[in-house]
């Protein structure tokens, strides 16, 4: 837990430092949809339409940026009359399942092409902390699990210029939060659409 908080703090510091750059920087705000996969997809199969992503990136060469990301996605699914079994215990009731995922990542991206006024595809990824809050409500009861995970996040995206300093940003990111001693792994795709500003 202490290590994860240290990682989160470090990434936040990188993010803030990047955001402080006044030259050769990109900031993005995206609306993010989530598509759970693996065991997380079995728990909540519904698409998440609640999410956003903030990013700050600073150019260290003409084609490479480093920076930080903060994102928030809410996954929700209702299961009516679902039966839950554990050992000899069986519980039936409507289940309301929630996952709130908060990636806080250090990132690096590589941009194809040289012309910043043309569409630019980028490849990259992030590394850092994932805070995952999982909550299952059954009737009037609730089971809640709040854990920090270490995770990785490869990404592909494109920046489409709309003015000298503003661009559309579209990206697809795969999030993988590794399992911990007491919590399973979580994985999902995030489709982000938004704006990027450079100065």
Partner 1 sequence: MKMKKAFTKIGALVAIVFALSSCYPGGAEYTTDTDIIVTNYDENYDFNSISTYFLSDSIQHIVEEGKEPGTSFDSYILSEMVRNFDALGWERRSDTLESEPDVAIVLTIAEITNYNVYSYPWYGGWGWGWYWKSTDYWGYPGYGWGYPWYGGTYVTSYTTGTVHWRLFDPDKSDEETETVYVEWEGALNGLLGTTGSTTKDRISKGIDQAFKQSPYLK
Contact residues for partner 1 (CB under 8 A)? 27, 29, 31, 50-52, 54, 72, 74, 76, 78, 81, 83, 86-94, 96, 98, 100, 133, 135, 137-141, 165-166, 195, 197, 199
Of the pair 167, 187, the CB lying nearest partner 1 is at 167
Between 23 and 88, CB nearer to partner 1: 88
Distance CA 162, CA 4 (A): 38
Alpha-carbon gap, residue 18 to 29, rounded angstroms: 15
Q: At residue 25, what are phi and psi to the nearest 5 degrees?
A: -120, 155
Q: How far is the CB of 195 from partner 1 (least distance, A)?
A: 7
Q: Which is nearer to partner 1, 78 or 145 (CB)?
A: 78
**Residue 132 CA from chain centroid, whole number:** 11
Phi-psi region of 139 (alpha: psi -120 to 50; beta: other; left: phi over 0): left
DSSP one-letter code for 179: P
Nearer to partner 1, 61 or 89 (CB): 89
Q: Least distance (Å) from partner 1 to the CB of residue 2?
A: 25
> Which of 16, 120, 6, 7 is closest to 67 using CA atoms?
16
- Pick the closer one to partner 1 by CB: 127 or 135: 135
CA 15, 21, 26, 31 torsion-angle sign: positive
Closest distance of CB 98 from partner 1, Å: 6
Residue 199 CB, nearest approach to partner 1 (Å): 7
Task: For residue 29, list its beta bridge partners.
Answer: 54, 195
Please, which residue, 54 or 189, has the CB nearer to partner 1? 54
> Taking the complex as a whole, how short is the minimal distance between the CB of residue 166 and partner 1, in angstroms?
7
Closest contact distance (angstroms) between CB of 3 and partner 1 is: 25
Q: What is the distance, to the nearest Å, from the Cα of residue 110 to the centroid of all Cα atoms in its chain? A: 19
Q: Please, which residues bridge with residue 27 across strands? A: 56, 197
């Amino acid at each position: 837990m202490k290590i994860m908080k240290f990682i989160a703090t470090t990434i936040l510091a990188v993010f803030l430092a990047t955001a402080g750059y006044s030259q050769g920087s990109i900031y993005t705000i995206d609306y993010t949809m989530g598509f759970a996969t693996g065991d997380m997809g079995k728990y909540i199969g519904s698409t998440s339409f609640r999410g956003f992503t903030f990013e700050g990136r600073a150019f260290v060469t003409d084609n490479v940026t480093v920076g930080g990301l903060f994102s928030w996605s809410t996954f929700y699914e209702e299961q009516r009359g679902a039966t839950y079994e554990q050992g000899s215990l069986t519980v039936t009731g409507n289940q309301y399942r929630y996952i709130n995922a908060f990636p806080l990542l250090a990132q690096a991206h590589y941009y194809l092409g040289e012309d910043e006024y043309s569409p630019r595809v980028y490849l990259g990824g992030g590394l850092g902390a994932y805070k995952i809050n999982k909550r299952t409500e059954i009737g009037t009861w609730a089971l809640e699990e709040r854990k920090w995970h270490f995770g990785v996040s490869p990404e592909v995206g494109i920046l489409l210029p709309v003015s000298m300093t503003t661009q559309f940003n579209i990206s697809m990111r795969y999030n993988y939060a590794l399992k911990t001693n007491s919590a399973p792994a979580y994985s999902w795709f995030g489709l982000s659409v938004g704006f990027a500003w450079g100065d």
